[in-house]
C-alpha cells in the first residue's frame, strides 16, 4: 500500500482539485493507497472540507493540529500516521504533481529506498529562484552529510526510512536533510515544479529563513568553524601589526618608509572597532542559534498537538518515549 502525506495550511481552494488529481492518478500506481491530510492549524474552511472528504472517501484520512506548527512538523506528524509499505510526501497546492508518482514508484520497485524529486524548472519569480539556488549551494557546503541539491520534500520513501524518521527525536526538523542522513539507496528524479494551483504561498519569509537556518545548523558545525577561523585570521593580522608597531617604537623601524604614526588613525580605528564588534555579534548570534536549538531539545515538549483526527484507530503520540 502507498501512503500519501499532505500538509495543508489554509488550502481550502486546493482541496477539491487535489482530491480529483490524486484519484485520477491513482490507477497508474498499481497499488492501493491512503492519503493522510495534515491540517496545520488552518484558519479557513480546510478542516471542515477535510471532514467532508473523509465522509465521502474513507481513503482520505486527516489529522488536525491545535495550532500552526509549521510545514516540517506537519510532514513529520503525517509520517507517524502512515501504515503503507511505501510513503509519498506531496504539497497540497499541487506544485508536486501526483501524476508523476508512478515514475517514483518504478524506482522504488527497482530497489531504491528513497526517490526524491529534483526541480528542473521553477515557476517562482527570479528573486526567489536565485535565493533558493544560493541557499542549496551554501547548504551543500555547510553540511557534513550529502544533501541533494534543489530537492524539496517531494519524494517517496520505503517503510524502513519512515520508521527511522519516526524515531528521530529532534524538534527542529529539516525533513529532507534527515532523509539523506538515514542513507540506504537514494536517487533523484528530475521533474518540473508547477505553479501553485490556487491561493497564496503559505511559507512566509520568516518561516523560510527558519527552514534555511535549520538546514544549515542541524547538519554541521561548519558555521561555528568558520567564525573560529575568521577570529584566528584577525588575531594573526593584529599580532603582526603589534609586532610592527613595537619595532617602530623601539628601533624606529619602517616598512617602505612608513611608520604607524604616518597614518592618520581615527577612521581606521573606528572602522576596525565597528567591524570587529559586528563580527563578534554575528558570531554570538550564531552561537545563539545553536544554543536555542539545544534549549528546544532539552525542554522535551511534544512536537505537535493533535486536536482532532478521523480514519485512524489510535492517536500517535508526538513523543518518542
DSSP alpha helix (H) spans, the chain: 15-25, 46-56, 71-81, 101-109, 126-142, 159-167, 175-182, 205-217, 222-251, 266-299
Give which of Mg ion, ligand UDP, none residue 22 binds (C-beta under 5 to 8 Å, depending on kind): none
> Measured from the CB atom, is 86 or 89 closer to Mg ion?
89
Q: Binding to Mg ion by residue 10, rule CB under 5 A? A: no
> Measured from the CB atom, is 106 or 296 closer to ligand UDP?
296
Q: Binding to ligand UDP by residue 132, rule CB under 6 A? A: no
Binding window for ligand UDP (CB under 6 A); candidates: 85-93, 132-140, 217-225, 245-253: 85-93
Q: Which helix (H) or strand (E) holds 190?
A: strand 186-191
When binding is defined by CB under 6 A, the residue of 4, 5, 7, 117 that contacts ligand UDP is: 7
> Measured from the CB atom, is 79 or 92 closer to ligand UDP?
92
> Measured from the CB atom, is 173 or 196 closer to ligand UDP?
196
Q: Binding to ligand UDP by residue 202, rule CB under 6 A? A: yes
Q: Binding to ligand UDP by residue 13, rule CB under 6 A? A: no
Q: How far is CA 45 from CA 42, 95, 189, 240, in A?
A: 8, 21, 34, 66
Residues 6 or more apart from 233 whose CB is under 8 A from it? none
When binding is defined by CB under 6 A, the residue of 61, 71, 80, 179 that contacts ligand UDP is: 71
Q: Binding to Mg ion by residue 64, rule CB under 5 A? A: no
Per-residue x/- mask for ligand UDP, residues 88 to 127, rule CB under 6 A? ---xxx-x--------------------------------
When binding is defined by CB under 6 A, the residue of 22, 49, 74, 105 that contacts ligand UDP is: 74
105-142 as b/e, with b when 16 or more CB fall inside 10 Å? bebbeeebbbbbbbbeebebeeeeeeebeebbeebeeb
When binding is defined by CB under 6 A, the residue of 203, 244, 290, 312 that contacts ligand UDP is: 203
Q: Binding to Mg ion by residue 95, rule CB under 5 A? A: yes
Footprint of ligand UDP on 181-200 (CB under 6 A): 196
> Residue 94, Cβ neighbours under 10 Å: how many?
19
Task: Determine how β-strand 86-89 pairs with β-strand 151-158.
Answer: antiparallel
With beta carbons less than 8 A apart as the criterion, state whether 75 and 38 touch.
yes
When binding is defined by CB under 6 A, the residue of 4, 5, 8, 15 that contacts ligand UDP is: 8
Footprint of ligand UDP on 20-59 (CB under 6 A): 40
Give which of Mg ion, ligand UDP, none residue 96 binds (C-beta under 5 to 8 Å, depending on kind): none
Residues 6 or more apart from 177 whose CB is under 8 A from it? 143, 145, 147, 214, 215, 218, 219
Q: Binding to ligand UDP by residue 78, rule CB under 6 A? A: no
With beta carbons less than 8 A apart as the criterion, state whether 179 and 161 touch.
yes
Q: For residues 152 and 268, what is the distance between their CA atoms, to the nearest angstrom? A: 46
Q: For residues 214 and 170, what is the distance between their CA atoms, to the nearest angstrom? A: 11
Residue 264 CA, distance from chain mean position: 49
Nearest approach, Cβ of 201 to Mg ion (angstroms)? 6
User: Bridge partners of 151?
Assistant: 118
Positive or negative torsion for Cα 116, 121, 124, 128: positive
Footprint of ligand UDP on 142-181 (CB under 6 A): none
Q: Binding to Mg ion by residue 39, rule CB under 5 A? A: no
Residue 250 CA, distance from chain mean position: 58
| Residues lying near Mg ion in the complex (CB under 5 A) | 91, 93, 95, 196
| Residues lying near ligand UDP in the complex (CB under 6 A) | 7-9, 11, 40, 68, 70-71, 74, 91-93, 95, 196, 201-203, 207
Amino acid at each position: 500500500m502507498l501512503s500519501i502525506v499532505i500538509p495543508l495550511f489554509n488550502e481550502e481552494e486546493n482541496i477539491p482539485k487535489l482530491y480529483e488529481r490524486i484519484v485520477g492518478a491513482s490507477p497508474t500506481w498499481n497499488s492501493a493507497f491512503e492519503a493522510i491530510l495534515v491540517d496545520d492549524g488552518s484558519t479557513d474552511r480546510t478542516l471542515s472540507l477535510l471532514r467532508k472528504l473523509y465522509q465521502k472517501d474513507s481513503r482520505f484520512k486527516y489529522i488536525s493540529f491545535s495550532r500552526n506548527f509549521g510545514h516540517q512538523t506537519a510532514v513529520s506528524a503525517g509520517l507517524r500516521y502512515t501504515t503503507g509499505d511505501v510513503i509519498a510526501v506531496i504539497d497540497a497546492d499541487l506544485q508536486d504533481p501526483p501524476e508523476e508518482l508512478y515514475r517514483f514508484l518504478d524506482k522504488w520497485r527497482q530497489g531504491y529506498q528513497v526517490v526524491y524529486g529534483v526541480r528542473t524548472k521553477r515557476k517562482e519569480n527570479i528573486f526567489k529562484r536565485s535565493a533558493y539556488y544560493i541557499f542549496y549551494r551554501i547548504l551543500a557546503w555547510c553540511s557534513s552529510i550529502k544533501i541533494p541539491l534543489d530537492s524539496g520534500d517531494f519524494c517517496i520513501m520505503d517503510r524502513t526510512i519512515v520508521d527511522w524518521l519516526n524515531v528521530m527525536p529532534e524538534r527542529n526538523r529539516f525533513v529532507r536533510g534527515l532523509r539523506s542522513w538515514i542513507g540506504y539507496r537514494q536517487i533523484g528524479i528530475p521533474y518540473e515544479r508547477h505553479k501553485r494551483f490556487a491561493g497564496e504561498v503559505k511559507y512566509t519569509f520568516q518561516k523560510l529563513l527558519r527552514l534555511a537556518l535549520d538546514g544549515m545548523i542541524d547538519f554541521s558545525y561548519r558555521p561555528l568553524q568558520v567564525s573560529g577561523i575568521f577570529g584566528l585570521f584577525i588575531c594573526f593580522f593584529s599580532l603582526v601589526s603589534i609586532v610592527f608597531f613595537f619595532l617602530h617604537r623601539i628601533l624606529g623601524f619602517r616598512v617602505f618608509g612608513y611608520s604607524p604614526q604616518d597614518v592618520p588613525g581615527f577612521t581606521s580605528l573606528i572602522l576596525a572597532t565597528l567591524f570587529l564588534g559586528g563580527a563578534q555579534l554575528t558570531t554570538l548570534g550564531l552561537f545563539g542559534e545553536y544554543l536555542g536549538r539545544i534549549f528546544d531539545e532539552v525542554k522535551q515538549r511534544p512536537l505537535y498537538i493533535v486536536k482532532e483526527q478521523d480514519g485512524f484507530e489510535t492517536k500517535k503520540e508526538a513523543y518518542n518515549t
